[in-house]
Amino acid sequence: MTRIVSRATEFERSGIRVMFELAEEQGGDLVRLEVGEPDFDTPKPVIDAAERAARNGETHYTSGAGIPKLRTAIAERMADETGVSFDPERHVSVTNGAMEALSLALSAIAEPGDDVLIPTPAWPNYRNQARLAGATPVPIPLPPDEGFDLDPKRIIDRLSPDTAAVILTTPSNPTGQVYDEDAVKAVVEAAREHGTFVIADEVYARLTYGDDHRRVTSYVDYPEGLLTVDSCSKTYAMTGWRLGWLVGPEDVIEAATSLGESTTACPSSIAQHAALAALTGTQDPVREMRTAFRDRRDYLVNRVEGIPHISCPRPEGAFYAFLDVSELDGESADVAARLLSEYGVVTAPGSAFGDAGEGYLRLSFANSMERIELGLDRLARMVEDERN
């Protein structure tokens, strides 16, 4: 006899995963632009540090909140980048990736049935993470005709005493947009009045292409109302190491850490030593990856500008372009399916990021310039075939 709880069966399958599996089934010479991870290897000094840690016996359980040196490195980096000081012992908890940081934060602050406001299009996992915490994910569609700008009013209007959190992802996955600072400030201020936390998911904060990107903590008037989530995954090409962190007020950190201790005990000791090396060692690999991503972004956006019937704004961060394909036939899932089956290009349909993403395709530029070029040649051919 099986007995599966409704909470588990309500989990939606990710539309990105669906495309991934279709691509695996189809095989052949596919251009993979659906992936959400850097195509670079983890920097060598990080791998060396992990090897040393393993050989030196750093192979045991650690404190649930992480090894003190890593928590200190995280607090110091936050202080450097934001001008706000954090106590490593009270304000930092190391987690198994940003995913666990998000999950633990939501579990620590949401009562059953509370709302979690998610401006969309948004990374699909937030919905299931809110559900896992017993909360209700509430999508707040952002207007496509305004480039999916963060419209604070839309969020503020939905705040209530039952709102546990607002999740702001800047730079955004899937749009690559960096939210306007005044808009973010307005949301944080309103959330403060309602006693609601703002979760700032900043996993792409160091992959921005202008000079002036600032972390949310650095410019809001009430940093105490923020829970900042970040990880090594995207910044250091370390998705498989599963190492992230949560930074926030002491009571939330304490509760989140104790929830984490009951589920995973602690993040991998070896990955923690790798993260310490990543954060405290040379940042040249980050700069190199960022330069490569920026070149690819520029190439992609310029190519798309030359293809009639489709368009995309220039992403300011992360490694995704969100293409308006609404002039092509069918829903975004159909467009993505045709692009895969007939032209061999794998993308993520906009609908995977919520209803607000319908009519769009997300293309990742975490792939080599040659593959991106080939993918765009094929996309241009599809548009030509279908629109002529």
Ligand X SMILES: Cc1ncc(COP(=O)(O)O)c(C=O)c1O
Euclidean distance between CA atoms 307 and 192, whole angstroms: 45
Smallest gap, in angstroms, from Cβ of residue 178 to ligand X?
13
Name the one range near ligand X by CB under 6 A: 1-9, 149-157, 231-239, 283-291: 231-239
Question: Is residue 231 close enough to count as binding ligand X by CB under 6 A?
Answer: yes
Residue carrying structure tokens 């002039």 = 327
**Residue closest to ligand X (Cβ):** 97
Among 53, 75, 78, 99, binds ligand X (CB under 6 A): 99
Question: Is residue 116 close enough to count as binding ligand X by CB under 6 A?
Answer: no
Euclidean distance between CA atoms 207 and 176, whole angstroms: 10
Smallest gap, in angstroms, from Cβ of residue 69 to ligand X?
20
Binding mask of the shown chain, residues 275 to 304, with x at each position contacting ligand X by CB under 6 A: ------------------------------
At 323 the three-state DSSP class reads: strand
Cβ–Cβ < 8 Å for 86, 78? yes
Question: Is residue 42 close enough to count as binding ligand X by CB under 6 A?
Answer: no
Smallest gap, in angstroms, from Cβ of residue 148 to ligand X?
14
Smallest gap, in angstroms, from Cβ of residue 201 to ligand X?
5
Of residues 130 through 169, those in contact with ligand X by CB under 6 A are 169
How far are the Cα atoms of 160, 185, 218 from residue 181, in angstroms, in the given order? 23, 6, 10
Smallest gap, in angstroms, from Cβ of residue 326 to ligand X?
24
Among 203, 259, 266, 372, binds ligand X (CB under 6 A): 203
Total of residues contacting ligand X (CB under 6 A): 13
Q: Is the dihedral of CA 309, 124, 102, 186 positive or negative?
A: positive
Q: What are phi and psi of 162, to 5 degrees?
A: -95, 10
Question: Is residue 244 close enough to count as binding ligand X by CB under 6 A?
Answer: yes
CA 149, distance to chain mean position in Å, is 17
Question: Is residue 36 close enough to count as binding ligand X by CB under 6 A?
Answer: yes
Q: Is the dihedral of CA 251, 256, 257, 262 positive or negative?
A: positive
Euclidean distance between CA atoms 217 and 133, whole angstroms: 25
User: Kindly report the CA angle at 345 between 11 and 33, in degrees rounded to 5?
Assistant: 60
Chain residues in the site for ligand X (CB under 6 A): 36, 97-99, 123, 169, 173, 201, 203, 231, 233, 239, 244
